[in-house]
């Protein structure tokens, strides 16, 4: 096993040298079972969301403005690949965002009585379901080399 790891390292550094690439030792991690990378936990088994990020989404309060809903939507959508039927779960909340442009405005509830931000029971159920679905998110395994993949 150790011999295989060493040969892999030798091959890796030969490729770096071949392509005239450099790596900083302080930015490299070798010989670990898992590591955090760009918001994900990467391991030999596959890819999963970072537990602290999932916890932050779980603790996110119910949105009371479009800005807060956009913020929650962005956090949720970052990990949507781990959630089966994520779009279906989030659809009632997406309805609130329809017709709103992404212009920077104060994050206060609309004072226009024709367009209030009314939180419905359907939206509440969707909000809770989105949090539960993320908490139950699955591990995405690495693809098997040579296997048929479907999109």
Check residue 115 and give its pLDDT.
42
For residue 141, give every residue at least 6 positions away whose Cβ sits within 8 Å of its Cβ, in sequence order, or none.
45, 46
Report the percentage of the chain scoring pLDDT > 70: 88
Question: 31: domain range?
Answer: 1-48
Check residue 66 and give its pLDDT.
86
Structural domain contains residue 97: yes
On whether both 73 and 134 belong to a single domain, the answer is yes
Q: Which residues pair with 40 in a beta bridge?
A: 37, 49
User: pLDDT tier at 114 (50, 70, 90 boundaries)?
Assistant: very low
Report the percentage of the chain scoring pLDDT > 90: 48
On whether both 28 and 93 belong to a single domain, the answer is no
C-alpha 72/C-alpha 53 separation (Å) is 12
More confident residue, 87 or 28: 87
On whether both 8 and 32 belong to a single domain, the answer is yes
Nearest to 124 by CA among 53, 60, 63, 57: 63
C-alpha 24/C-alpha 79 separation (Å) is 29
On whether both 30 and 85 belong to a single domain, the answer is no
Check residue 107 and give its pLDDT.
52
How many structural domains comprise the chain? 2
On whether both 87 and 67 belong to a single domain, the answer is yes
On whether both 41 and 57 belong to a single domain, the answer is no
How confident is the prediction for the chain on average, in pLDDT?
A: 85
Of 1-10, 37-46, 60-69, 110-119, the one with minimum mean pLDDT is: 110-119
pLDDT (tens digit, 9 = 90+) per residue, 40-58? 999 989 999 999 999 999 9
What is the C-alpha end-to-end distance of the chain, expressed in Å? 35
On whether both 20 and 40 belong to a single domain, the answer is yes
pTM: 0.73
On whether both 87 and 40 belong to a single domain, the answer is no
Structural domain contains residue 144: no
């Amino acid at each position: 096993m150790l011999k295989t790891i060493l040969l892999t390292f030798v091959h890796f550094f030969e490729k770096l040298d071949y392509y005239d690439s450099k790596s900083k030792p302080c930015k490299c991690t070798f010989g670990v079972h898992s590591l955090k990378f760009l918001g994900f936990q990467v391991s030999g088994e596959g890819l999963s969301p970072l537990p602290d990020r999932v916890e932050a989404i779980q603790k996110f309060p119910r949105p009371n403005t479009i800005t807060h809903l956009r913020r929650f939507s962005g956090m949720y959508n970052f990990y949507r690949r781990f959630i089966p039927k994520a779009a279906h779960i989030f659809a009632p909340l997406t309805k609130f965002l329809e017709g709103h442009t992404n212009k920077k405005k104060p994050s206060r509830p609309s004072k226009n009585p024709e367009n209030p931000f009314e939180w419905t029971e359907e939206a509440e159920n969707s909000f809770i379901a989105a949090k539960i679905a993320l908490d139950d998110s699955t591990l995405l395994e690495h693809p098997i080399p040579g296997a048929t993949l479907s999109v």
